[in-house]
Amino acid sequence: MTSVLVIDDHPIVLQGCRRLLEDAGVERVLEASTVLGGYRAFRREKPDVVIVDLALHGNGLSGLMLVRRLRAQNTRTPILVFSMHGDPVIASRALEAGATGYVLKDSSSGALLEAFERVRRGQPYMSHDLAMQVALLGSRKEAPLADITPRELQTLSLLAEGKDYALIAHELGISYKTVANTCSALKSKLGANSLPELVRCSIQYLSSSPAGMGGRPSRLS
């Protein structure tokens, strides 16, 4: 019996994934909507495959932290990231964190099923176009996010959600001063002369609005 744990905070996405996987013959589909809930379900249920979003409850790229924790807990369980972020830097960071595959939320249902089947067999998966972009990262000096650290990436994603320094400090469990210093480093790396310019950069590179997934989808969101 194959069991799959889907971790996503959008109920419509969870419903769509459940229907798609059950129609494909998956016997047991488990659900979680938070980082903590997903981690606890993973430890308790020991699923055969995990599908996880990177942006959970508006907390930046908290899914990256979760992928690292899941991989530290179990080095063998396939993890498929299901994300709205198509930037190759984010995809690369997900693989570095321990993801087996990476598929975009605007992909077709067939692409999600192909990704699922590949990672279930222990094989890596990424769309050809995104894989090419990831492969070229090392030689592309113009890649805007290529040189930023994981902490900077998470801070930038929270800026894209409209959160101020105080909220970012609270969500990441760090000091206000650390957030300010991180944003200063980001301004330098991204060529932003002010906080408003940095926020515009964050929206340009990271902001996206996932659409709903209902019924039997022909596209995923």
Please give the full DSSP string across 84-149, using - where no structure is assigned: S---HHHHHHHHHHT-SEEEETTSBHHHHHHHHHHHHTT--EE-HHHHHHHHHGGG-TT-TTTT--
Tens digit of each residue's pLDDT (9 = 90 or more) over 148-203: 887 888 888 888 878 899 989 988 889 999 999 999 999 998 889 999 889 888 87
Q: Where are the domains of the chain?
A: 3-137, 150-206
Question: Taking a C-beta distance cutoff of 8 angstroms, is the pair 1, 47 a contact?
Answer: no
Domain 150-206 has CATH 3.60.40.10: no
Cross-strand partners of 112: none
| Residue 209 pLDDT greater than 70, yes or no | no
Region of poorest pLDDT, from 12-16, 37-41, 55-59, 175-179: 55-59
Residue type, 65: M
The predicted model gives 109-114 an average pLDDT of 94
Tell me the two tokens of residue 138.
């090392």
Mean pLDDT score, 65-74 = 93
pLDDT band at 69; cut points 50, 70, 90: very high
* pTM for this prediction: 0.70
Count of CB atoms situated within 10 Å of the CB of 204: 11
- pLDDT range class, residue 137, cuts 50, 70, 90: low
Instruction: Please give the structure tokens belonging to residue 2.
Output: 């194959």
The phi, psi pair for 184, rounded to 5°, reads -65, -40
Q: Which residue has the higher pLDDT, 79 or 170?
A: 79
What is the mean predicted confidence (pLDDT) over 126-153? 74
Q: Which residues share a beta bridge with 50?
A: 5, 79
CATH class of 3-137: alpha beta
Give the pLDDT confidence score for residue 60 in this predicted structure.
Answer: 63
Q: φ and ψ at 48, to 5 degrees? A: -75, -30
* Distance separating alpha carbons of residues 151 and 138, to the nearest angstrom: 20
Mean pLDDT of the chain: 85
Q: Facing residues of 104 across strands?
A: 83
220: confidence class by pLDDT, cuts 50, 70, 90: very low
